[in-house]
Structures are given as C-alpha cells and as structure tokens.
C-alpha cells in the first residue's frame, strides 16, 4: 500500500507538472506552510530521540517509542498536496524548496522511501537506548540527503 501511494505521488506530481496552468488555483501559500509544519514535526520528534541518544536527557523507553512511532507515521504520510508545481523558491518567496525537486521526482521518492525505511528501523528498536543510538544516523542521513539535494542552503 505504501509503495502504491508513493507511485501515485510520483504520478500525481508528474501530471500536475505538465499542467502547471491548470494548477494555478492551488493554495501555494498554504501548501508551503503545511510542508514546513510537517518538517517541524519531523525535527521535534527526532530531537526527542537525539537528546536521549546523546545522554542530554535520561532514556525513557515510552517517550522514545512515541517519538519513533510519530516519525514513522510522518514518513508514511502522503504529502503530495504539500508540493504543488509553482511552489519552489524560483517561483515564490518564503520557501527554500529548490526547483530541482520537481525535475527529479523519482529521486525525491527514493529519498522519501529511504526515510520511511530508516524511521521504521528506529520504531522497531526504540525500546532500548542502544537501539535509539544505533538508528539515529540512518534517520539523520535520510533527512540530510534530501536537504542537500533539494533545500536551499542558507
């Protein structure tokens, strides 16, 4: 089901990309707010795990599991509607999304799939501090790979 929805996401963006004019009624400002909010939820939940992994906060298995489950749920969400064509930083203000995203949909979907795999691995291991520590790098790497390619750096 997840794979199917990823494929659908790609198809939806590809179709939308070919009819940019028809998509002009899309609420671009709202979409940008929504994707930033989604990213903030990612960062907040990852921060909970990161603080425990570093020893800045005492390990709490229940809290770690909740954060890990949230990250997996966020990664599994269909975010198609947050990325309408015409919402890159070349098109509008107040976004750092690079136009390259819309030119490389298959690669973006691979990066989404990598984050799904990494968050599922974390969700399966968050019951112990060692498990959290072992899976931090995988998630950080999945977030970072997409930012490196598709987020403006400043």
* Footprint on this chain of ligand HEC (rule: CB under 6 A): 32, 35-36, 39-40, 42-43, 46, 95-97, 108, 111-112, 115, 139, 142-143, 146-147, 150-151
Encoded tokens for 38:
């989604």
Residue closer to ligand HEC by CB (options 59, 147) is 147
Q: Measured from the CB atom, is 24 or 40 closer to ligand HEC?
A: 40
Supply the minimum distance, in Å, between the C-beta of residue 152 and ligand HEC: 7
59 sits in the region (left: phi over 0; alpha: psi -120 to 50; else beta) called beta
Half-sphere exposure of 6 (CA within 13 A, CB side): 17
Residues whose CB falls within 8 Å of the CB of residue 135, separated by 6 or more in sequence, listed in order: 118, 121, 122, 125, 126
| Closer by beta carbon to ligand HEC, 95 or else 135 | 95
- Spell out the residues 6+ positions from residue 25 whose beta carbon is closer than 8 angstroms to its own: none
Nearest distance from C-beta of residue 138 to ligand HEC, angstroms: 10
Nearest-approach distance from CB 128 to ligand HEC, in angstroms: 21
42 vs 135 by CB, closer to ligand HEC: 42
Angle, alpha carbons 92-94-96 (nearest 5°): 90
State the nearest-atom distance from the C-beta of 131 to ligand HEC, in Å.
17
């Amino acid at each position: 089901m997840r794979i199917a929805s990823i494929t659908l996401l790609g198809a939806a963006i590809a179709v939308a990309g070919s009819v940019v004019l028809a998509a002009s009624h899309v609420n671009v400002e709202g979409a940008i707010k929504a994707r930033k909010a989604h990213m903030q939820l990612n960062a907040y939940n990852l921060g909970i795990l990161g603080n425990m992994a570093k020893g800045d906060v005492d390990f709490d298995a229940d809290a770690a599991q909740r954060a890990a489950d949230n990250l997996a749920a966020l990664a599994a969400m269909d975010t198609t509607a947050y990325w309408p064509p015409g919402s890159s930083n070349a098109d509008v203000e107040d976004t750092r999304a690079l136009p390259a995203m819309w030119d490389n949909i298959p690669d973006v979907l691979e990066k989404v799939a990598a984050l799904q795999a990494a968050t599922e691995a974390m969700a399966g291991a968050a019951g112990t501090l060692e498990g959290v520590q072992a899976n931090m790098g995988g998630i950080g790497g999945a977030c970072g790979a997409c930012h490196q390619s598709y987020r403006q750096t400043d």
